[in-house]
Amino acid sequence: MRRQVITGGAIVVISVASAAAYGIVQGKWFRSAHQVAAQVEESVNAAPGQKPEGGETASAWFAQGAATEPEPATAPAQTSTAVAQMAAPRPLPDRQAQAAPQPPKPAIACANPNAMGVSRVVEIDTTGGPGFGSQHFKSFDFLRDHEVALTFDDGPWPTTPLVLKALADQCLRATFFPIGKHATYHPDILKQVVAAGHTVGSHTWSHADLQAVMKKGGEAAATEEIEKGISAVHLMSGASLAPFFRFPDLRHPPEMISYLGSRNVASFSTDIDSFDFKIKKPEELTKSLIAKVIKNGKGIILMHDFQKATSIALPQILGELQKNGFKVVHMVPKGTLSTLPQYDEAVLKENKLPTMSDSKPTESVVRTISGQ
């Protein structure tokens, strides 16, 4: 273990070399024999007083019961993982141009003096494809007591802007896992997510259950689902993509975990599943979720910006989190994820798919110059 304190910049670097491994659970979980060097880097939060800036139903592919019956998976060989704490975002976009892969986040004006704000930002080194979220992965438990990380799946969707507003009102940032196809339907909404400074990963091309895809079409088909999702989100957002991935329905075929490891993409399961694809009443959703968060004490929360109930309940959910003393941590990647050209092409060749310039509003491309 190495501990280094740099004053002035107030950066604390702690390196831990341990045999802690990459654990994956299904009720119980496994430890691999792989040596893991975990590196944790910390830097102190923004100065006191500085306000930080802050579903699965509509389509058939969402219908399978989600999130509860993970299959065991084997761990990928992993050599180095880092979760680094960075300064919480400041009102000016001065952070991390070089270390943070995503383009510099624009500042979110925080008009609400009582806003929660991001309490800290952690930078995640996705080398080797670490896994997060205790429902399936146990090695890297970086959240402290009463800390939560907010994650939203299955967008972009017309419900997403309400989610963005609720987050902006509290000067918060979250992590989104958009579906490739949805990105092609709503590129402008996806761009709003990026513009608000949230972290954007991916969640496959069509939300296929990758275990089923593996059985039917093998690794090549499952790889295509993952890569086309990555390509679509990248093409439609027009921004760098975080090497962050969430498996649809939290079904983790071991081969695909290994594949993501080879691509240096982190997998995010969850600690607290809101089940917002089943609970349709916003008040019930809030009550149920807050009870889970209090019981768990901390964790990565899985929600869906795709779900109407979530988009309506989110202001209440955030208010209850604040009331109960919870703080929000924003996860950002250390590196960027490059797309693979053949899957970019495959995305662009899809039927009915917009071409690159299709993300422009129609009025800017076609206008009436004669007649009604």
Binding stretches for Zn ion (CB under 5 A) = 153-154, 248
Q: Which residue from 152, 105, 336 is spatially nearest to 246, judged by alpha carbons?
A: 152
Select the residue whose beta carbon is closest to Zn ion and give its number. Answer: 153
CB of 66 to Zn ion, least distance (A): 7
Residue with Cβ nearer Zn ion (181 or 330): 181
Residue with Cβ nearer Zn ion (268 or 326): 268
CB of 207 to Zn ion, least distance (A): 6
- In which element (H, E) is residue 301 found? strand 299-304
CB of 190 to Zn ion, least distance (A): 15
Residue with Cβ nearer Zn ion (29 or 268): 268
Residue with Cβ nearer Zn ion (102 or 274): 274
Name the 3-class secondary structure at 93: coil
Q: How far apart are CA 242 and CA 123, in angstroms?
A: 11
Q: Which residues of 247-260 are buried (b: 16+ CB within 10 A; e: fewer)?
A: bbbbbbbbbbbbbb
CB of 203 to Zn ion, least distance (A): 6
Residue with Cβ nearer Zn ion (154 or 305): 154
* 204 HSE (CA, 13 A, CB side): 22
Residue with Cβ nearer Zn ion (125 or 153): 153
Strand partners, 333: 124
Q: Which residue from 303, 291, 223 is spatially nearest to 256, judged by alpha carbons?
A: 223
CB of 11 to Zn ion, least distance (A): 36
Answer yes or no: are the C-beta atoms of 204 and 180 closer than 8 Å.
yes
CB of 311 to Zn ion, least distance (A): 15
